[in-house]
Amino acid sequence: MNAEILQPLNKIQSRPFNFAHGRPNSGQGSLLFAKYAFAPNKLRYCGPDGNRDIFDYCVAEESDKGLIELLKGFEGAFPYLQLIAKANKIKDPFDEKVVEAYWIGNDLLKNVTTKDFHEQLKNRFSKKLSPNLMKWILPKPAEGAKPHHSFHVLDVYTKTGLIRSGIKTNVMETVDNCLILPGRVVKTKNEKLKTKNYNLKPKTIDNLTNQPFDDTPSSILRTGQGRPINQLTIQYHPIILKEGKLAFGELTTKEVISLFINPKVDDYVSIHWGNVCDELTARQLKNLQIWTKYHMEIANRTI
């Protein structure tokens, strides 16, 4: 990645998936999903009560049926994966291309029909939400919305508050944290996770969760060593309200942590609830920008 700041968003074609490293598989896809889902799960906002297990899988960079079953418990995201997979005739909803389509965005989203997306939203939420709320959500597929994480944040969560334990904070701060946003690393600082007394309470973890882990993940106990993590400073465009509409703010800095990868200065990364999910390729960076801006424009029609 070059050292340029994030470029202004513009409307260009989403770039296709690259098979240069072989066909993606369920193992890689499930691990990718786990890295994106870990932070909100640790905060108890979504998914099953299994954050230590998910952490272990990510640290070990291994996947099995146990991880797959855990990830199926993310009731907000998993149905979207199933819809994307079905629309593209992909058997495994945790295929890496499918997972990337939901969290980052790629051309697989274009194959999800308006009818199928509308039907899924209707079947999932009509019994949970009032007709007054559904009238804002159900028209969105006809307006072009696709089953991308940004759609769920901007047009489902923001209108319904569908989050497991609720968030007592500023709405725009929540949207900024909940969206997957790209950032450029400008500073790194390595720290060690402490294993003394089976406690795991580094300040960097507290920055992510506002609460420590209950105890040390078993993978760290097995190795008997502290795991290096990065405390990073990134440059990114926050989400703001401008004249009553969602918009990208001016470039600013933000402190985040990286639990599972070790990015370098000038790398572009994806951020979710203060944790680095993955390093972004140029293709992924552009796709994430495109699909986030696309769904912001759709959300702005009913703000």
Please, what is the angle between helix 114-125 and helix 78-87, to 10°?
Answer: 150
Element (H, E) at 278: strand 275-279
> What is the residue-level pLDDT of the chain in tens, covering all 303 positions?
333 334 433 333 444 433 333 333 448 999 999 999 999 999 988 999 999 999 999 999 999 999 999 999 999 999 999 999 999 999 999 999 999 999 999 999 999 999 999 999 999 999 888 899 999 999 999 999 999 999 999 999 877 654 444 444 578 889 999 999 999 999 998 765 443 322 333 333 443 433 444 333 333 323 324 556 789 999 999 999 999 999 999 999 999 999 999 999 999 999 999 999 999 999 999 999 999 999 999 999 998
pTM over cut 0.75 = yes
Domain hosting 164: range is 26-170
* Total domains, the chain: 2
Decide if 8 is inside a domain. no
* Shared-domain flag, residues 62 and 147: yes
What SS3 class is residue 252? strand
Decide if 20 is inside a domain. no
In 148-251, DSSP assigns E strands to 181-192, 228-236, 239-242, 245-248
* Shared-domain flag, residues 143 and 245: no
Decide if 290 is inside a domain. yes
Identify the domain boundary among 170, 188, 212.
170
* Shared-domain flag, residues 135 and 216: no
> Tokens 């969290």 belong to which residue?
103
Q: Is 225 exposed, middle or buried (0-12, 13-18, 19+ CB in 10 A)?
A: exposed
CB 204 within 8 A of CB 231: yes
* Shared-domain flag, residues 222 and 103: no
Return the number of other C-beta atoms located less than 10 Å from residue 3's C-beta.
Answer: 9
CB 259 within 8 A of CB 55: yes
